[in-house]
Structure 1
Amino acid sequence: MLATKQEIENFMRTDFPQAKCTVEAVGAQSATVRHTVGFDELRPGGTVSGPVLMTVADCALYVAILGEIGIVALAVTTSLTINFMRKPSSTKDIIAKCTLLKVGKSLIVGEVSLYSEGYAKAVAHVVGTYSIPKFK
């Protein structure tokens, strides 16, 4: 059961407002989300903090999964590996592009590339796995 962009946006707004990500696109085992960087998310040196980048990647993965299996609130992260490759801009939104690599019955694996808006080279690369709850 697929979830539409509108259904996911409504769910995120009502059930997960702390995510602070905007759904840009969802479908075909993929998703793109945007996060506007705030001053409180910068670390010394004027770069976006690692935990913020991990959160945005996790959000993109979650949105792609919801788009594929429907609104399943208890789909949860079981692993997340990130490689920081470049300093993200402190004045540009973070754009996360996710592709699901494997959709199984109990686990879903995806990868996310994170970009500073307007830049072609990724600032970070993430691979994550989600556990999907069993329904009886």
Structure 2
Amino acid sequence: MFTLDTRLQQDCLLVGDFPLCHLLLMNDCNYPWFILVPRREEVSELFQLDAADQRQLWHETTLLAEVLKDTFAADKMNVATLGNVVSQLHMHVIVRRRDDVAWPAPVWGRHPAQPYSGQQVARIVDKLRLVLTEDFQFAGESA
């Protein structure tokens, strides 16, 4: 049975679900920083997913990156799996702008996280509602 890693539960807000992945928002308003987590148990590496899930993860990642680049006027999209702290397979999809607090350095460990207000989260979800229509279920909404 799939269970989301406790560190991701603590650090992120659930936005909703693609067919394969939970979509999380890192609770740090320094950057629009999203995380895709395939709902598969005991998977820590990309190659541990079967071929269909690998294709689906890549589809969801590239769709999300494209949507975020346009929605948040990114100068660069950072997409990565690391897993050095959280071993559960997860894909970071981070909007980077030349004026963000860490540019051009990586976002990890650069500045203390600044939690979102409820109003900020609502604005982000509203923006995503306009563009995430294909096979996406927002958290708290029934299918």
Same fold (TM over 0.5): no
TM-score (norm 2): 0.30
